[in-house]
Structure 1
Amino acid sequence: MRNDEGGGLPLRKRSRHLDGVKEINPRDYDFIRKFMTEHGKIVPARLTGATAKQQREIKRIVRRLRVVGIVP
């Protein structure tokens, strides 16, 4: 948090991808791809702006999709 003098830590940006989303649908493949690289790796929360809870949900969904064979 910043104090009045301008020092301190900057405020963390919120995720544009997850604004207004209450639950992440595992069948919405295009939405899930926003959180993955072209090689199939999960993008870190510090880059997407996802909260820890949202990042865990993304992780579970991507791992399930890998087992099923939908994503690499």
Structure 2
Amino acid sequence: MRLRPGAQRKPSYLEEHRIDYIDYKDVKLLQRFLTPQGKILPRRLTRLTNIQQRQLTRAVKKARHLAMIPYHTDAEAY
């Protein structure tokens, strides 16, 4: 999506809080980018760059593999 000339995009959460590295052990940060069902939110909602989104995806998948976060949750149970 192109911006109008002179318009600036909103900074992402990572840019606002000056987070350079997405750590798979930081479950609280990872859950910020997941839906209640446990799916990874798309870039257009998270406002992450392409590289940041790839880092996020890798971190979430690694955390899931190590059972730090669930693969999916039953949203109706909550």
Q: Report the CA distance between 1:28 and its aligned residue.
A: 1.1
Amino acid at match of 2:46: T
Whichever of the two has the greater Rg, that structure is: 1
Report % sequence identity. Answer: 36
Q: How does 1:1-72 map to 2 (within 5 A)?
A: 1-3=3-5, 11-15=8-12, 17-19=13-15, 20-72=18-70
Residues 14, 65 of structure 1: alpha-carbon distance in 2 compared, 3 angstrom cutoff: same
Count of paired positions:
66
The structure whose residues are more often helix, as a share, is 2
Give the 4+ runs in structure 1 shifted more than 3 A.
none
Unaligned runs of 5+ residues in structure 1 are 5-9
The residue type equivalent to 2:4 in the other structure is R
CA contact (8 A) 2:27 2:69 kept: no
Instruction: Report the aligned-residue RMSD.
Output: 1.7
**Which structure 2 residue ranges, 5 or more long, are not aligned?**
71-78
Letter in 2 for 1:2: R
